[in-house]
Amino acid sequence: MNTIVINLAGILVIALIVWWFWMSRPPARRVSGGGPIEIIVNNGVYTPARIEVPAGQPVTLRFLRKYPSPCAEKALFDDLGVSADLPVGKPRDVTVMPPKSGEYESTCQMRLYRGMLVAC
């Protein structure tokens, strides 16, 4: 009986982890006006993780890394050819330009942190 409960709990935890890292779709944040968009880097997530930006215009993202683990030390935009080092506790501005409308993923070097720039 106890084994079954423990197994179920284990499955639940795994499902939660899978959902958290791969399937959660937080609501997009739309950019209004100029100024950098602040992104908090902490506990395995970017906040906000999904940001809508205008296509074909440079946009500045201000990464604020609060998590000291080396996992969080880089922000990579593979599709945009951008890679930035993020210092702990100090804002780091990264300017990117999505060339056309579409989704552009940002990740850490291990791909645990996942963010999405939605250009339209």
Footprint of Cu ion on this chain (CB under 5 A)?
A: 71, 108, 110, 112
Compare residues 43 and 101 and give the one whose CB is closer to Cu ion.
43
Please give the single-letter amino acid code of residue 26: P
**How are beta strands 37-42 and 59-65 bridged, if at all?**
parallel
Angle at 80 between CA 105 and CA 86, to 5 degrees: 70
Compare residues 106 and 119 and give the one whose CB is closer to Cu ion.
106
**C-beta of 73: minimal distance to Cu ion in Å?**
8
**C-beta of 44: minimal distance to Cu ion in Å?**
8
Compare residues 55 and 76 and give the one whose CB is closer to Cu ion.
76
**C-beta of 95: minimal distance to Cu ion in Å?**
22
82's CB contacts (< 8 A; 6+ apart) are 75, 76, 94, 96
Q: Is 106 exposed, middle or buried (0-12, 13-18, 19+ CB in 10 A)?
A: buried
Compare residues 51 and 108 and give the one whose CB is closer to Cu ion.
108
**C-beta of 98: minimal distance to Cu ion in Å?**
23
